[in-house]
Amino acid sequence: MNTEIYPFKVGDFECMAVSDGTWTYGPPIFPPPAAFLFANAPKELVDQALSEHGIQPEHWMAYVSPFICLMVDTGRHRVLVDTGADGLDPNTGRLLRNLQAVGIGTGDIDTVILTHGHDDHTGGNTDAEGEPAFPKARYVMWKEEWTFWTSEAGRLYEDVEIAFIRKNLLAIQHQLDLLDHEAEIVPGIRAVAAPGHTSGHMAVAISSKREQLLFVSDAFLHPIHVEHPEWHGAIDMAPEQVTQTRHLLLDRAVTEKTLMLGFHFPFPGLGHVVRKGTGWQWQPIRRPDQD
């Protein structure tokens, strides 16, 4: 059994959470995980939250984060959400081999949705020759996000990573559709504005037969953000906007009883949001292999 693919259904849609690998966040490249993920939170409250999640605060020196992409077969379209981080690290770039393991080739995908421009979400856009990895696909991105990363501001924002990011954006521009409002991308799959982590960050809503999935990408970087949406990550561009976006997504997830998937959550990243007092709580799904 391939432990890097998790198949599930949303109504009539065949879906898969597909791992692109993992990336370790911690010194010396990044701050310790608590400071990186919960930059504005009081230490005593973070320590309490970590303990409640089975993490020993004093020993949490590295966060091994999954990178989870989403594959959706609607019957009419094969849609991939985010392309992972090929080339970022030896432990990343597994998306294509995992798709190939279940018989899905790059030419089988007709739509690629990019939730935002960070390298761990766009790294699989191109192949080793710098050509679009999904030659028959329409790529879709939020217009404001594209404008930022291809502007002078974007070039100056992340000097270390910008060549990597721009390589994987400019190479697909002739296959790219840009959105400036929430809209259906293909029947049953809709773009949802979710700014804050980046200026044009988006979530993706999938709906079929009254069942729903909300792919929140990096609106939440860790399950603890569901319980503490006001705690922002050091990498979030607009912290106040992140908090507003999280509240909207959490209210939607509870109201619509939707399944939710977080790109950096423990694999397969799936779970439900439930009310806890005046806030929310994350409930990961129970996988069959855990029974």
Tell me how far apart the terminal alpha carbons of the chain are, to the nearest angstrom.
16
The count of other CB atoms within 10 Å of the CB of residue 167 is: 16
Least confident span in 41-50, 149-158, 187-196: 149-158
Q: How confident is the model at residue 150 (pLDDT cuts 50, 70, 90)?
A: confident
**Are 66 and 264 contacting, i.e. CB atoms less than 8 angstroms apart?**
yes
- Nearest alpha-carbon partner for 185 in 79, 37, 66, 70: 79
H or E stretch at 251: helix 239-255
By the 10 Å C-beta count (0-12 exposed, 13-18 middle, 19+ buried), 188 is classed as buried
Does the pLDDT value for residue 32 go beyond 80? yes
- Nearest alpha-carbon partner for 133 in 156, 153, 104: 104
155-184 pLDDT, tens digit per residue, is: 555 555 567 777 889 999 999 999 999 999
Residue range 207-224: mean pLDDT, rounded: 98
**Are 24 and 67 contacting, i.e. CB atoms less than 8 angstroms apart?**
no
Residue range 6-29: mean pLDDT, rounded: 96
96-119 pLDDT, tens digit per residue, is: 999 999 999 999 999 999 999 999
231-274 pLDDT, tens digit per residue, is: 999 999 999 999 999 999 999 999 999 999 999 999 999 999 99
Which tokens is 216 given?
A: 């929140």
Phi-psi region of 52 (alpha: psi -120 to 50; beta: other; left: phi over 0): alpha
- Nearest alpha-carbon partner for 133 in 92, 191, 196, 175: 175
Does the pLDDT value for residue 1 go beyond 70? no
Residue 72 identity: V
Residue range 26-53: mean pLDDT, rounded: 95
Query: What residue ranges define each of the domains in the chain, with the CATH number in brackets?
Result: 5-290 (3.60.15.10)
Is the torsion defined by CA of 81, 132, 90, 35 positive or negative?
negative
Q: How confident is the model at residue 16 (pLDDT cuts 50, 70, 90)?
A: very high
Q: What percent of the chain has pLDDT over 90?
A: 86
Residue range 126-146: mean pLDDT, rounded: 95
Neighbouring C-alpha atoms within 13 Å toward the C-beta of 290 = 7
Helix, strand or coil for residue 152?
A: helix
Phi-psi region of 93 (alpha: psi -120 to 50; beta: other; left: phi over 0): left
Give dist(CA 238, CA 244) in Å, integer.
10
Indicate the pTM of the whole model: 0.95
Q: How confident is the model at residue 128 (pLDDT cuts 50, 70, 90)?
A: confident
